[in-house]
C-alpha cells in the first residue's frame, strides 16, 4: 500500500474502525455462541420436562382406575401413550416393563441408551424420578439429556419411562447459525468499512481542499478561498481558514503598499541630497548652504520614517496602552497645547463630562495632528474650534476650522497614505501621512472618523469613539 495512502486521515479512521469492529465481533461471536447454545439446551430441557409432565399426568390419571395392574395393562397404557407421541428429532422415548426393555420411539437407539448403558442401569435401580446429563465420546452424540420416571403401584415397581435427547444435531444446527452470524458480521464490517471509506472521503474533502489550497498559496496569489458548505466543524474550519486568508492577504497588501509608498517617498529626499552633494563646490558658503539643505532633508526623512513606523505598528495587538481618561481635563490640556501652534481664534466646546478608556498618548497625537492641519491651512483671522460631546456610550471629538476647505473629490482620499488635496494652496511640509495616522489610531480604538468640508467654508473632522474599551487589551 502506498505510504501516502496510509498517512491519510480517512485511512487511519478506517483502520481504527476496522480494529474496533473486529474486536467487537471477536467478543460478540463467543458471547452469541454461548447464549445461543444455552438457549438451545434450555429449550431441550423444557421439551423433556413437558414430555415427562404429560406422561406423568396421564399415568396419574390412569393409575386410580385399576386396582392391581398387571404387566399387560401397563404395556397397554404405555403403548397407548406412545401411539399418540411423535418425538422431535434427536428425542427418544423409551419404555421398560419391569426390568425389561419394552419399546422405544424411534426404535434405533444409540449405544448410550442401550439396556446395558449407565443411564438405563441408573434408572433400573431407582424408584424416584431422575434427571441428568451424560457426555459422550461420540461426536455424533455430543451430550445426552435425560429424564427417568419410574412406574410404581403401591410401592411396587412396574417399570420406567425415559425421555432423552442427544445434543449433537441441535448443536450442529446452532453452529451453522453461529457460522452464518460470523459471515454476516464480517460482511457487515466489510461493507460498512467501504461505506466509511467513501463517507470519510466526502466528509474530509474540505480538509483535503484546505491542504491543496494551502499548498497552492503563494505571496503573489492569496485570493484562493475554500467553499463553506453546510454547518458543523468542517464548515467552521473552512470559514476560519477564509477569514485567516483575508487577514493574511490584507497584511501582505498593506506591507506591499507600505514598501512601495515608503520607497517612493524616501527616494525624493535621497535624490535631492545626492544631487546637492555631487554639485557641492569648495567654497565655504556653498558648503554651508548644502549642509543646511542636507540636514533639512534628513530631518524630513526622519519624520517620514517615524510616521511610517506608527502606521506599521497600528495593526499590532500592543499598539494601544489603555487607561481611563477624564474627558474635561484631557480636552483642556489638549486645548492649552493647541493654542501655541499658531495665532488663530481658538475656541473650546465641552458638552457633558465623563471618562474614556483610551490610549492617552495616541489620542493626543491624533487630535494634535488634526489641530496642526487646521493651523497650517488657515490664516490668522480664521477660527479653530476643539470640542467634545458625550452621548450614551460614545464620545465625539471634533476639530473645526474656517479655512479653505477640501474639495469633495479629495475628501475620500485624504485619509490614504501620502495623499494630499489637489488644491495647491493646501500643500504643507508633511508627507501626507497625518490623516492616515489619525484614521489608524481611531480604528485601533474601535471608532470611526468623519469629514465635513466645503471649499471656502472650512472643514470639520469628527472622531467618534466608544467610551469603554476592553481593559484587558492593555495588558497584552
pLDDT tens for 165-214 read 887 777 777 778 788 888 888 888 888 888 888 887 777 777 777 777 77
Residues 457 and 309 placed together within one structural domain of the fold: no
Question: Residue 421 maps to which CATH number?
Answer: 3.30.565.10
Whether 223 maps to a domain, the answer reads no
Among candidate residues 278, 313, 348, the one where a domain is terminated: 313
Whether 80 maps to a domain, the answer reads yes
**Pick from 140-154, 214-228, 293-307: least confident:** 214-228
Nearest of 292, 291, 460 to residue 377 by alpha carbon: 460
Q: What average pLDDT does this structure show over 455-469?
A: 90
Residues 307 and 327 placed together within one structural domain of the fold: no
Residues 46 and 122 placed together within one structural domain of the fold: yes
What pLDDT, on the 0 to 100 scale, is given for residue 476?
41
Nearest of 440, 296, 315 to residue 369 by alpha carbon: 440
- The total number of structural domains that make up the chain: 3
Residues 246 and 384 placed together within one structural domain of the fold: no
* Residues whose CB falls within 8 Å of the CB of residue 373, separated by 6 or more in sequence, listed in order: 428, 434, 435
| Separation CA 67–CA 64 (nearest Å) | 7
* Residues whose CB falls within 8 Å of the CB of residue 462, separated by 6 or more in sequence, listed in order: 396, 397, 398, 449, 450, 451, 452
> Confidence band (pLDDT; 50, 70, 90) for 472?
very low
Whether 165 maps to a domain, the answer reads yes
What pLDDT, on the 0 to 100 scale, is given for residue 389?
94
> In which domain, by residue range, is 128 found?
3-173
Question: Residue 147 maps to which CATH number?
Answer: 3.30.450
Share of the chain above pLDDT 90, in %: 14
Residues 307 and 329 placed together within one structural domain of the fold: no
**Pick from 49-53, 102-106, 252-256, 467-471: least confident:** 467-471
What pLDDT, on the 0 to 100 scale, is given for residue 461?
94
- The reply to whether the predicted model has a pTM over 0.75 is no
> Confidence band (pLDDT; 50, 70, 90) for 395?
very high
Residues 351 and 437 placed together within one structural domain of the fold: yes
Residues 374 and 421 placed together within one structural domain of the fold: yes
Give phi and psi for 95, each to the nearest 5: -120, 135
Residues 347 and 468 placed together within one structural domain of the fold: yes
| Separation CA 165–CA 145 (nearest Å) | 5
Among candidate residues 173, 202, 223, the one where a domain is terminated: 173
Residues 147 and 241 placed together within one structural domain of the fold: no
**Which of the two residues, 335 and 151, has the higher pLDDT score?**
335
pLDDT tens for 324-371 read 999 999 999 999 988 888 899 999 999 888 899 999 988 998 999 899
Whether 333 maps to a domain, the answer reads yes
Residues 293 and 413 placed together within one structural domain of the fold: no
Whether 182 maps to a domain, the answer reads no
Whether 207 maps to a domain, the answer reads no
* Residues whose CB falls within 8 Å of the CB of residue 64, separated by 6 or more in sequence, listed in order: none
Whether 100 maps to a domain, the answer reads yes
Q: What average pLDDT does this structure show over 202-231?
A: 73
Q: What average pLDDT does this structure show over 141-150?
A: 84
Amino acid at each position: 500500500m502506498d505510504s501516502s495512502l496510509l498517512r491519510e486521515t480517512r485511512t487511519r479512521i478506517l483502520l481504527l474502525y476496522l480494529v474496533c469492529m473486529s474486536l467487537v465481533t471477536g467478543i460478540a461471536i463467543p458471547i452469541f455462541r454461548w447464549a445461543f447454545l444455552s438457549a438451545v439446551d434450555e429449550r431441550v430441557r423444557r421439551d423433556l420436562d413437558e414430555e415427562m409432565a404429560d406422561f406423568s399426568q396421564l399415568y396419574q390419571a390412569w393409575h386410580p382406575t385399576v386396582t392391581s395392574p398387571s404387566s399387560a395393562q401397563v404395556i397397554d397404557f404405555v403403548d397407548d401413550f406412545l401411539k399418540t407421541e411423535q418425538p422431535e428429532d434427536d428425542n427418544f422415548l423409551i419404555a421398560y416393563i419391569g426390568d425389561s426393555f419394552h419399546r422405544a420411539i424411534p426404535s434405533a437407539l444409540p449405544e448410550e441408551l442401550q439396556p446395558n448403558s449407565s443411564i438405563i442401569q441408573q434408572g433400573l435401580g431407582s424408584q424416584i424420578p431422575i434427571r441428568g446429563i451424560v457426555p459422550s465420546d461420540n461426536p455424533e452424540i455430543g451430550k445426552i439429556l435425560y429424564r427417568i420416571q419410574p412406574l410404581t403401584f403401591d410401592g411396587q415397581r412396574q417399570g420406567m419411562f425415559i425421555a432423552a435427547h442427544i445434543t449433537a444435531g441441535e448443536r450442529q444446527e446452532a453452529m451453522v447459525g453461529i457460522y452464518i452470524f460470523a459471515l454476516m458480521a464480517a460482511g457487515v464490517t466489510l461493507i460498512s468499512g467501504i461505506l466509511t471509506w467513501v463517507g470519510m472521503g466526502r466528509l474530509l474533502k474540505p480538509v483535503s481542499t484546505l491542504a491543496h489550497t494551502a499548498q497552492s498559496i503563494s505571496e503573489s496569489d492569496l485570493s484562493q478561498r475554500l467553499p463553506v458548505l453546510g454547518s458543523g466543524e468542517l464548515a467552521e474550519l473552512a470559514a476560519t481558514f477564509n477569514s485567516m486568508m483575508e487577514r493574511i492577504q490584507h497584511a501582505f497588501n498593506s506591507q506591499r503598499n507600505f514598501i512601495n509608498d515608503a520607497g517612493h517617498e524616501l527616494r525624493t529626499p535621497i535624490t535631492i541630497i545626492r544631487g546637492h552633494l555631487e554639485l557641492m563646490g569648495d567654497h565655504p558658503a556653498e558648503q554651508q548652504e548644502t549642509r543646511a539643505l542636507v540636514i533639512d532633508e534628513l530631518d524630513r526623512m526622519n519624520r517620514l520614517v517615524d510616521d511610517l513606523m506608527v502606521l506599521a505598528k497600528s495593526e499590532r495587538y500592543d499598539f494601544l496602552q489603555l487607561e481611563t481618561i477624564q474627558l474635561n481635563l484631557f480636552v483642556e490640556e489638549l486645548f492649552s497645547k493647541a493654542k501655541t501652534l499658531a495665532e488663530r481664534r481658538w475656541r473650546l466646546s465641552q458638552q457633558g463630562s465623563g471618562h474614556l478608556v483610551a490610549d492617552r498618548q495616541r489620542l493626543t497625537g491624533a487630535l494634535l495632528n488634526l489641530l496642526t492641519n487646521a493651523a497650517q491651512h488657515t490664516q490668522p483671522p480664521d477660527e479653530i474650534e476643539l470640542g467634545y460631546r458625550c452621548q450614551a456610550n460614545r464620545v465625539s471629538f471634533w476639530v473645526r476650522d474656517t479655512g479653505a476647505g477640501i474639495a469633495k473629490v479629495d475628501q475620500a482620499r485624504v485619509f490614504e497614505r501620502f495623499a494630499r488635496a489637489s488644491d495647491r494652496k493646501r500643500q504643507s511640509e508633511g508627507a501626507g501621512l497625518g490623516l492616515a495616522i489619525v484614521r489608524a489610531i481611531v480604528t485601533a480604538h474601535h471608532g470611526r472618523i468623519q469629514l465635513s468640508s466645503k471649499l471656502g467654508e472650512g472643514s470639520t473632522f469628527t472622531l467618534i469613539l466608544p467610551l469603554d474599551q476592553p481593559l484587558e487589551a492593555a495588558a497584552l
